[in-house]
């Protein structure tokens, strides 16, 4: 019988050891991640993209590698990037990540990228931007009027945006589909935590999303396509080894359960339970 | 090593200590997280909503029309005073009415019509047939006006298999998600704190 504490130690070791000793397990790129990459790769230099940081701080280890890989691709392609946050905690995190990644590529604020800040009530913000972005965000995060930002001069609403990506840890991508995609028909993709990924697959098959990045693995796949290793690929060995350990623990638990049920019929709760 | 790294390391270890058992260090870190989160969201609400959407328009730009939603917002806060709770129902009615009006057509279009269309268009392929079988059998499982016997029972049973596959995939993704969070903390502890990894 494995105690809880022993399982925790096993999981901790299965994560820590591969981080220290590189194994280099293979990682295949999935179609949904490739579709996001291709959607950005096909855009001409100067095209406008919108990235929304729709997440909280608690999911940072998953969303940061994905957001970073996508932002790197955007700046590498010299796209104009409009960013915003529809969750309060995503604001400071998104702004910091945007600034760091923009500095890597010497992108200039106001010309190559802009951060609009946070708006509550995601539904009304998404609907409002479909009519006019300036109505929802009259000023950017630094309280500069959008009229004074060169990049925003020719951008009115989703018509000028070639692709929207929601970096999310909840179901806000569904809100984007409900209110932006179904009404204004922009191209839309999401980079979401793995726990939410299965919820969005129906939107992939219906074409309401062009692609999807699911958690750390999604980030690692994107980094492979980008040929720029980052936080995603660094964690994938640990991910694979810890999954193997969990599978072995589940198998071990089942083997012990069936052996006990076979050998001990008297002591089992099922046999001692009295019928009502 | 900077002070931020030391604080983050201390708080990470406080949270991890719960894996052994509940203790005051864990409680401290948990309460700190809740307090900071609430404070942060409050400041964001004031800076991004209250000031630019109410205070500045009314007091700096003289747009008095904004007073009406401001009053409706105050009505919501009157829920804390039993004598005036009834006023909050006006605001709630407005939110529910407008919210439902906006949400219902969008949701029906995005989640019902588009999904139904997607499940039909690829019917000639193996994937399309599997999707159709999955939808039909799962719906059969949740149809309780007919006893689950005979061919209908077999279809409903097949629906449970599809549900189990979905639950398994979701659980797998959940494990991956939680392990990713642990990897993030391990990368911090082994990298930023101990400098064992780069």
The C-alpha atoms of residue A190 and residue A55 are separated, in whole angstroms, by: 12
pLDDT of residue A276: 39
Alpha-carbon gap, residue A216 to A232, rounded angstroms: 5
Strand-pairing partners, residue A213, are: A191
Residue B50 lies in a domain: no
How far is Cα A240 from Cα B107, in angstroms, rounded to an integer?
Answer: 37
DSSP A28-93: PPPHHHHHHHHHHHTSPTT-EEEEEEE--GGGHHHHHHHHHHHHHHHHHTT-EEEEEESSHHHHHH
How many other CB atoms are found less than 10 A from the CB of residue B112? Answer: 10
Question: Within a 10 A sphere around the Cβ of B47, how many other Cβ atoms?
Answer: 14
Higher-pLDDT residue of A111, A264: A111
For range A93-120, the mean pLDDT: 95
User: Mean of the pLDDT values across residues A208-214?
Assistant: 96
Query: B176 and A198: CB-CB below 8 Å?
Result: no
Q: What is the pLDDT of residues B137-153, one digit of tens each?
A: 999 999 999 999 999 99
Pick from A4, A118, A234: CB nearest B44: A118
Instruction: Decide if B56 is inside a domain.
Output: no
Is B40 inside any structural domain?
no
> Strand A211-214's sheet: what is its strand order?
A113-118, A80-85, A48-54, A161-168, A188-192, A211-214
SS (H, E, C) B26-44: HHHHHHHHHHHHHHHHHHH
**Could you tell me which residues come within 8 angstroms of residue A251 by beta carbon, excluding any fewer than 6 positions away?**
none
Is residue A188 packed enough to be buried (19+ CB in 10 Å), middle (13-18) or exposed (0-12)?
A: buried
Distance CA A117, CA A52 (A): 10
Question: Is 80 exceeded by the pLDDT of residue A271?
Answer: no
**Mean pLDDT score, B15-42:** 94
Residues A23-77: pLDDT tens digits?
888 889 999 999 999 999 999 999 999 999 999 998 999 999 999 999 999 999 9
For residue A153, name the pLDDT band (cuts at 50, 70, 90): very high
Tokens of B22: 């509940």
Band (pLDDT 50/70/90 cuts) for residue A262 is confident
Which one has a higher pLDDT value, A271 or B150? B150
Residue B77 clears pLDDT 80, i.e. is over it: yes
Give me the percent of chain B exceeding a pLDDT of 90. Answer: 80
CB proximity list for B151: less than 8 A, separation 6 or greater: none
Cα–Cα distance between A112 and A101 in angstroms, integer? 12
For residue B171, give its domain range: 122-198
Reported ipTM exceeds the 0.95 cut: no
- Please give the tally of structural domains in chain B: 1
Specify if B92 maps to a domain: no
Using alpha carbons only, how large is chain B's radius of gyration in Å?
A: 27
| pLDDT surpassing 70 at residue B43 | yes
**Contact criterion met (CB < 8 Å) for B110 and A177:** yes
Is the pLDDT at A88 greater than 50? The verdict is yes
Predicted confidence at residue A231, as pLDDT, reads: 87
Quote the pLDDT of residue A252.
Answer: 93
A243 contacts on B by Cβ (under 8 Å):
175-176, 179
Name the pLDDT band for B154 (thresholds 50, 70, 90).
Answer: very high
Q: Do A219 and A65 meet the contact criterion of CB atoms below 8 Å apart?
A: yes
- Model confidence at A274: pLDDT above 50: no
| Nearest-CA distance B150 → chain A (Å) | 30
Mean pLDDT (chain A, rounded): 92
β-strands A161-168, A80-85 pairing: unpaired
Q: How far apart are CA A18 and CA A86, in angstroms?
A: 35
Confidence at residue B197, expressed as pLDDT on a 0 to 100 scale:
87
Residue B171 lies in a domain: yes
Name the residue in chain A with its Cα closest to that of B110: A178
* From B37, B181, B190, residue closest to A61, measured CB to CB: B181
Q: Which pLDDT score, from 0 to 100, does residue A1 have? A: 57
End-to-end Cα separation, chain A, in angstroms: 32
Residue of A178, A203, A208, A247 for testing the chain B interface, max B β-carbons within 10 Å: A178
Of A265 and B160, more confident: B160
Helix (H) or strand (E) holding A214: strand A211-214
**Confidence (pLDDT) at A273:** 45
Whether B100 maps to a domain, the answer reads no
B187 CB within 8 Å of a chain A CB: yes
SS3 call for A167: strand
Q: Using the predicted structure, report yes or no on whether residue A275 has a pLDDT greater than 50.
A: no
| Spatial CA neighbour of A14 closest among B125, B149, B175, B194 | B175
> For helices B24-45 and B3-16, what crossing angle results, to 10°?
120
Task: Return the structure tokens found at A1.
Answer: 């019988």
Looking at the domain assignment, is residue B98 inside a domain? Answer: no
Nearest residue, CB atoms, B187 vs list A19, A127, A215: A19
Q: Would you say residue A230 has pLDDT above 70? A: yes
* Contact residues, chain A, for B131 at CB < 8 Å: 205
Confidence check: pLDDT of B110 > 50: yes
Q: For chains A and B, count residue pairs whose Cβ atoms are closer than 8 Å.
A: 137
Q: Which of B71, B45, B52 is nearest to A135 (CA)?
A: B52
- In the CATH scheme, what is the homologous superfamily, with its name and number, of domain A27-232? HUPs (3.40.50.620)
B102 part of contact set with chain A, CB < 8 Å = yes
Instruction: Report, as an integer, the average pLDDT of A80-98.
Output: 95
- Give the pLDDT mean for B37-45: 91
Q: Which of residues 131-170 of B touch A (CB under 8 A)?
A: 131, 166, 169-170
Give the pLDDT confidence score for residue A5 in this predicted structure: 86
Identify whether B177 is part of a domain: yes
Average pLDDT value over all residues in chain B: 92
Reported as a pLDDT band with limits 50, 70 and 90, residue B122 is: confident
């Amino acid at each position: 019988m494995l105690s809880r504490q022993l399982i925790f130690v096993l999981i901790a070791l299965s994560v820590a050891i591969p981080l220290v000793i590189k194994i280099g397990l293979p990682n295949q790129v999935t179609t949904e991640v490739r579709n996001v990459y291709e959607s950005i790769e096909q855009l001409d230099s100067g095209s406008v993209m919108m990235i929304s940081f729709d997440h909280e701080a608690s999911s940072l280890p998953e969303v940061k590698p994905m957001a970073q890989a996508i932002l790197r691709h955007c700046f590498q392609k010299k796209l104009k990037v409009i960013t915003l946050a529809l969750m309060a905690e995503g604001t400071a995190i998104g702004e910091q990540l945007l600034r760091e990644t923009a500095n890597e590529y010497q992108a200039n604020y106001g010309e190559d990228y802009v951060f609009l800040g946070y708006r509550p009530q995601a539904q009304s913000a998404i609907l409002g931007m479909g009519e006019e972005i300036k109505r929802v965000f009259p000023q950017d995060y630094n309280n500069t009027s959008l009229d004074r930002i060169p990049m925003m001069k020719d951008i009115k609403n989703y018509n000028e945006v070639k692709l929207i990506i929601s970096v999310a840890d909840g179901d806000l991508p569904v809100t984007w589909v409900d209110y932006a995609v179904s009404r204004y028909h922009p191209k839309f993709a999401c980079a979401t935590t793995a726990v939410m990924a299965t919820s969005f697959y129906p939107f992939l098959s219906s074409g309401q999303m062009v692609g999807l990045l699911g958690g750390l693995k999604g980030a690692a796949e994107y980094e492979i396509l980008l040929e720029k290793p980052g936080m995603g690929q660094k964690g994938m060995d640990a991910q694979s080894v810890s999954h193997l350990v969990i599978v072995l623990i589940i198998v071990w638990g089942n083997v012990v359960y069936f052996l006990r049920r076979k050998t001990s019929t008297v002591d089992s709760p099922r046999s001692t339970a009295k019928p009502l | 090593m900077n002070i931020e790294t030391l604080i983050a390391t201390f708080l990470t270890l406080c949270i991890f200590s719960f894996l052994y058992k509940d203790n005051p260090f864990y409680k401290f870190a948990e309460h700190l997280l809740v307090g900071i989160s609430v404070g942060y969201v409050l400041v964001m609400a004031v800076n991004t909503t209250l000031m630019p959407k109410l205070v500045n328009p009314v007091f700096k730009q003289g747009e008095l029309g904004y007073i009406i939603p401001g009053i409706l917002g105050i009505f919501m806060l009157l829920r804390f005073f039993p004598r005036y709770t009834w006023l909050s129902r006006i605001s709630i009615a407005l939110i529910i009415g407008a919210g439902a009006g906006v949400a219902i057509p969008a949701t029906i279009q995005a989640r019902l019509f588009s999904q139904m269309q997607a499940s039909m268009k690829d019917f000639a392929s193996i994937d399309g047939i599997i999707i159709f079988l999955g939808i039909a059998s799962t719906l059969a499982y949740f149809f309780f006006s007919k006893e689950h016997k005979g061919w209908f029972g077999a279809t409903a049973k097949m629906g449970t298999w599809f549900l189990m596959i979905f639950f398994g995939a979701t659980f797998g993704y959940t494990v991956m998600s939680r392990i990713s969070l642990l990897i993030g903390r391990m990368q911090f502890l082994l990298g930023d704190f101990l400098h064992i990894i780069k």
